[in-house]
Chain A
Amino acid sequence: MTSTVLLTLMLMTGITEPDRKEFIEVAADSVESNFKVRTEDLFRSTERNMISLDWVSLKFQNRFDGFYGLQPKFLIDELPVDANFFGVIHPQFLPVALGEIENLRYYSASDFRNEILSSSDQISIESSPIKDGFSFFGSGMILNESGEPGPWVYDSDRVSSNKERFGPAVDLASSYKSGKWYGKGVFRYHRHLNSDLAVQGRMKNMVGFPDSGEFLSVDSETTTGLIEAGYVHDHLRIRARAIHADSEEFLFFQPLGREVPSELGMRQYTLAADGDINPEWGISSYLQVQNKALDYRRNYFEHNFDWSEQTTAFHISANRSSQTNYLEFGSRFRLIDTSPPGLKNEKRAYVDLFLNSENELTESLSFLSGHNLTNNRESTAIQSKAGFLMDFSDRWTTELSVNYSETLPEFSNAPDFWISQRSSLYNDFGISFLIPSEIEKSRRISIHIDQEFRLSPKFNIDVDLAHITHLAFHIPFQQVEYDLNFHTFPGEYTLFENQTGTRFDGVINLQHSLTSTFRHDVSIHVNKTLSGDSEYQSYWKTVPSFLMNYSASWQPFPDLELQSKISYRSVSQWDEFDALDGEQFRSFNPQVPFAFGTFSSKTPTPLKIDLQVAKWFWEQRFRGVIILKNILNKEDYSHPLAAREGFTFVLKGEFRF
């Protein structure tokens, strides 16, 4: 309907293309950076399903593993950055300002361009090129969810709870380039107050001490910094990078069935060199040392992860490109020193060997293959994929491939692996559990058909279909119990090992540019469990079987942009939270009239509409953005324990020079 109206308006008003000579198309806008208010919004454009309990941290659903499986790896300017803590991504740890992102690509684990990173998906973020001289970027935003009490806070009969508060969120980036040398820095600060009605009781009780009358703040606060220096010559690039990130969080820990107040920290130091040996051959390498830690944040249960991990990695690879062939091979060595509770300095060494190639057999037929082997002293895992790329015509390309993947349990089910190695973590948290003493590799095989139809330069259709057979799939399951104050209490935790089943997963994307000022696209994601064990069937019900996103963007003048987004997600069922079904949550404080809500193990299916207007000022140095999210005010949450999201208003400003 929206598109029809806009289309009609444009045809009838006879709008001609504005003069864009003076307007510089900023590539960072190509990932719709306007709409990227929270860091998690950055990934909405990937059309992947996500859950977020607090609007900040999130879990991705990849087509092979669901929400509890491997989370995507991140690359920033081709170098790995780790933002994953026990399967929860903290994107505010990524040291890149949202408005400074040139490009973002999501590679599925089955994708041939997903190079060496074993069986996980990969998100590659490319930051804006560094300009000569000094440059600066800054952005700040405030976000309000509607429904604050306003002046009625003074009326004890009408008072209601304060709403979830996100922000302030500040991103700053600056750089200086002189000749072949450059330096850059990034600073990010994000704060979030967990006061939504669905979470406030749980959060406040977790950091509350009734005996002493102390109830600590329920905010989450993250600071992230990056410093990088580099030398860039025509055929050589050398970079040194340091990242520090610290956060006070409520980390969702699935084996416990709720969050754990924690302090998260990450330190990473990287030295990288890459270049071209000649027009055909290139080489890249990096040495990276990283330390991640989860430490104690004061809480009622005295829960403490007391967990740290140091990883030293050295990567080297070579690639050869010609008009008809592409070859890449290399190796990575990793020494991972983990200290989980009850164990100290568990050192494990891994060697990865990988080989990717693309060979043109005829003008319209190419052979693709990719292989990766991960080995340590005790076990080996392989990932292998092979396929054909067929250009039936200038307008139709098909890729047919088969993918086999094994994943070691320390990567696919990390907490359970350490419990099987006799870590005391679950005992410390009071979780009764059933975990095999030795967890096997998970294994799967999948068949993929990707079709691309370029019907015209302005109209593109992608169809990506996959049939997935899980040969051995490990499913973590916490049958939580209901508790009034803490919402959940851990029941028995089980790792259902070696589950088998088959799935279908398909994505259709249509992109259409009606004129140079109006474009719209729609993506539909459908998936279905075809067969499998009962636990397998139950697990995949957490993934909505249908997801639709439509977006339209109209830029009537170069400095003005209007966008609308419509999204729909079908129901998901979380059997882990059956005990919460129909139970109430309520506002924390007994001093005011209680506000109540009801838990459900099923998520709602709202049709959500977002609108946005963005205007540039001062020759593109400043941009003001107004965003109205969920304008129909449909209650939405992606997980039974998640904060409920209603109509939300955002003001955002960006400044760059």
Chain B
Amino acid sequence: MKAKRAFLLILLLGLITQISSAQNAFNTFDVGLSGDFIINNNTLLDNWNPTNGATLEARSPYFRGEMEVGVRYVYFFEGQFENSGFRSIFLFIGWSHPFSIADRLTVSPGFRLGNHFMWQDNTREYFAEPAGDPFVFHRNESEFAYEVQLRAAYQFTERTKLQLSTSYNRTAIEIPLSLVYAEIGVSRTFHSPKWLQKLVK
């Protein structure tokens, strides 16, 4: 109960202190590219070997923080199970709120909601005994996934930032898929051309 109250209080304070950024909505865009590394250890990783991944994202001031859209790609090589490699694509939309903690340093807690596409290289079939039509599972699946993220960004030129982040991603499959990522990358700020502002407003 105390935790719930504390959460609500933090939520309230967060919103109370930030009420002005909407006027600048979509005037600028940050486009970032990061490398991703899975840093937790779980059963999934005992059976598959993920590559390092990459995340492409775009962020812009909106609604008391920054709205973001992006995509993360990771390939999981087969491990224990033959021909079980699959591509993982997390397509997301998110929101984060930057806190300035030093002259050029901001820390942004945020969340992402999205669809986690899991595209298998091969169709999995289970064969009947006695022989009959095999049971064929869906080769391509997609599931809801959410992610909470903490990102630190250091602005080392007027338009360029170095960003480091860690995020916890959970996909709602039958045996929930939970992964912790570390990311490092750069982002660059652009002034939004008129056509782009028109597109997103």
Asked whether, in the complex, the Cβ of B143 is within 8 Å of the Cβ of A144, the reply is yes
Partner of A628, one of B16, B120, B129, B144: B144
Asked whether, in the complex, the Cβ of B143 is within 8 Å of the Cβ of A589, the reply is no
A13 lies within 8 A of chain B by Cβ: yes
A154 lies within 8 A of chain B by Cβ: yes
Cα separation A404 to B134 with both chains bound (whole Å):
59
Q: Who on chain B is nearest to A158 by CB?
A: B175
Asked whether, in the complex, the Cβ of A153 is within 8 Å of the Cβ of B124, the reply is yes
A360 lies within 8 A of chain B by Cβ: no
Interface size class of B (residues with CB under 8 A): 35 or more
Asked whether, in the complex, the Cβ of A589 is within 8 Å of the Cβ of B198, the reply is no
Chain A 124-162 per-residue mask, 1 if CB under 8 angstroms from chain B, else 0 = 000000000000000000101011111111111011101
Residues from chain A with a CB closer than 8 A to the CB of B99 are none
Question: Shortest beta-carbon distance, B3 to chain A, in Å?
Answer: 15
B10 lies within 8 A of chain A by Cβ: no
Chain B 158-169 per-residue mask, 1 if CB under 8 angstroms from chain A, else 0 = 000000000000
Asked whether, in the complex, the Cβ of B172 is within 8 Å of the Cβ of A9, the reply is no
A281 lies within 8 A of chain B by Cβ: no
A179 lies within 8 A of chain B by Cβ: no
Q: A12-B12, A162-B138 are in contact. Are A149 and B173 (CB under 8 A)?
A: yes
Q: Who on chain A is nearest to B17 by CB?
A: A13
A496 lies within 8 A of chain B by Cβ: no
Partner of B115, one of A159, A213, A617, A651: A651
Cα separation A150 to B178 with both chains bound (whole Å):
12
Q: Who on chain B is nearest to A592 by CB?
A: B126
Question: Shortest beta-carbon distance, A561 to chain B, in Å?
Answer: 12
Cα separation A257 to B131 with both chains bound (whole Å):
32
Most chain A beta-carbon neighbours within 10 Å: one of B129, B173, B198, B199: B173
Residues from chain A with a CB closer than 8 A to the CB of B141 are 148-150, 162
Asked whether, in the complex, the Cβ of A5 is within 8 Å of the Cβ of B8, the reply is yes
Asked whether, in the complex, the Cβ of A13 is within 8 Å of the Cβ of B16, the reply is yes
Asked whether, in the complex, the Cβ of B15 is within 8 Å of the Cβ of A9, the reply is yes
Q: Which of B113-148 contact A (CB under 8 A)?
A: 113, 115, 118, 120, 124, 126-129, 131-135, 137-138, 141-144
Asked whether, in the complex, the Cβ of A154 is within 8 Å of the Cβ of B143, the reply is no
Q: Which of A283-337 contact B (CB under 8 A)?
A: none
B103 lies within 8 A of chain A by Cβ: no
Q: A148-B141, A213-B133, A560-B63 are in contact. Are A154 and B124 (CB under 8 A)?
A: yes
Q: Who on chain A is nearest to B200 by CB?
A: A617
A649 lies within 8 A of chain B by Cβ: yes
Question: Shortest beta-carbon distance, B118 to chain A, in Å?
Answer: 6
Asked whether, in the complex, the Cβ of A150 is within 8 Å of the Cβ of B8, the reply is no
A559 lies within 8 A of chain B by Cβ: yes
A626 lies within 8 A of chain B by Cβ: yes
A379 lies within 8 A of chain B by Cβ: no
Interface size class of A (residues with CB under 8 A): 35 or more
Residues from chain B with a CB closer than 8 A to the CB of A146 are 143-144, 172-173
Asked whether, in the complex, the Cβ of B126 is within 8 Å of the Cβ of A144, the reply is no
B2 lies within 8 A of chain A by Cβ: no
A15 lies within 8 A of chain B by Cβ: yes
Residues from chain A with a CB closer than 8 A to the CB of B8 are 5
Question: Shortest beta-carbon distance, B133 to chain A, in Å?
Answer: 5
B76 lies within 8 A of chain A by Cβ: yes
Asked whether, in the complex, the Cβ of B76 is within 8 Å of the Cβ of A151, the reply is yes
B47 lies within 8 A of chain A by Cβ: yes
Q: Which of A580-631 contact B (CB under 8 A)?
A: 588-592, 617-619, 624, 626, 628
Question: Shortest beta-carbon distance, A615 to chain B, in Å?
Answer: 8
Residues from chain A with a CB closer than 8 A to the CB of B199 are 617-618
A396 lies within 8 A of chain B by Cβ: no
A647 lies within 8 A of chain B by Cβ: yes
Asked whether, in the complex, the Cβ of B115 is within 8 Å of the Cβ of A591, the reply is no
Chain B 71-93 per-residue mask, 1 if CB under 8 angstroms from chain A, else 0 = 00000100001001010000001
Asked whether, in the complex, the Cβ of B173 is within 8 Å of the Cβ of A152, the reply is yes
Asked whether, in the complex, the Cβ of A557 is within 8 Å of the Cβ of B22, the reply is yes
Cα separation A148 to B140 with both chains bound (whole Å):
10
Chain B 166-186 per-residue mask, 1 if CB under 8 angstroms from chain A, else 0 = 000001111101000000000
Partner of B47, one of A5, A142, A155: A155
Q: Who on chain A is nearest to B93 by CB?
A: A626
Cα separation A249 to B193 with both chains bound (whole Å):
50
Q: Who on chain A is nearest to B195 by CB?
A: A618
B194 lies within 8 A of chain A by Cβ: no
Residues from chain A with a CB closer than 8 A to the CB of B47 are 151, 155
Asked whether, in the complex, the Cβ of B175 is within 8 Å of the Cβ of A152, the reply is yes
A394 lies within 8 A of chain B by Cβ: no
A457 lies within 8 A of chain B by Cβ: no
Q: Who on chain A is nearest to B135 by CB?
A: A589
Cα separation A559 to B62 with both chains bound (whole Å):
11
Most chain A beta-carbon neighbours within 10 Å: one of B84, B120, B174: B174
Most chain A beta-carbon neighbours within 10 Å: one of B16, B44, B133: B133
Cα separation A147 to B113 with both chains bound (whole Å):
17
Asked whether, in the complex, the Cβ of A619 is within 8 Å of the Cβ of B201, the reply is yes
Asked whether, in the complex, the Cβ of A154 is within 8 Å of the Cβ of B84, the reply is yes
Question: Shortest beta-carbon distance, B149 to chain A, in Å?
Answer: 17
Cα separation A303 to B16 with both chains bound (whole Å):
65
Q: A12-B12, A160-B174 are in contact. Are A144 and B138 (CB under 8 A)?
A: no
Cα separation A536 to B17 with both chains bound (whole Å):
61
Most chain A beta-carbon neighbours within 10 Å: one of B11, B141, B198: B141
Q: Which of A195-212 contact B (CB under 8 A)?
A: 210
Question: Shortest beta-carbon distance, B22 to chain A, in Å?
Answer: 6
Asked whether, in the complex, the Cβ of A150 is within 8 Å of the Cβ of B133, the reply is no
A215 lies within 8 A of chain B by Cβ: yes
Asked whether, in the complex, the Cβ of B12 is within 8 Å of the Cβ of A8, the reply is yes
Cα separation A459 to B63 with both chains bound (whole Å):
29
A506 lies within 8 A of chain B by Cβ: no
Residues from chain A with a CB closer than 8 A to the CB of B131 are 213
Binding site for A on B (CB under 8 A): 8, 11-12, 15-16, 19, 22, 25, 44, 47-48, 63, 76, 81, 84, 86, 93, 113, 115, 118, 120, 124, 126-129, 131-135, 137-138, 141-144, 171-175, 177, 198-201
Q: Which 6 A-B pairs have the closest CB atoms?
A: A649-B144, A150-B173, A591-B126, A146-B172, A154-B81, A589-B135
Would you list 22 pairs from A and B whose C-beta atoms are within 8 A, ordered by A residue?
Answer: A13-B15, A13-B16, A148-B138, A148-B174, A150-B141, A151-B44, A151-B48, A151-B76, A151-B177, A155-B47, A155-B81, A156-B126, A159-B137, A162-B138, A210-B132, A213-B131, A589-B128, A590-B129, A591-B127, A592-B126, A618-B201, A628-B144
Give me 20 other A-B pairs in contact (C-beta within 8 A), A147-B173, A152-B174 excluded: A8-B12, A9-B11, A9-B15, A12-B16, A148-B143, A149-B174, A150-B118, A151-B84, A151-B118, A152-B173, A152-B175, A162-B138, A557-B25, A559-B201, A591-B126, A591-B129, A591-B135, A619-B198, A626-B113, A651-B115
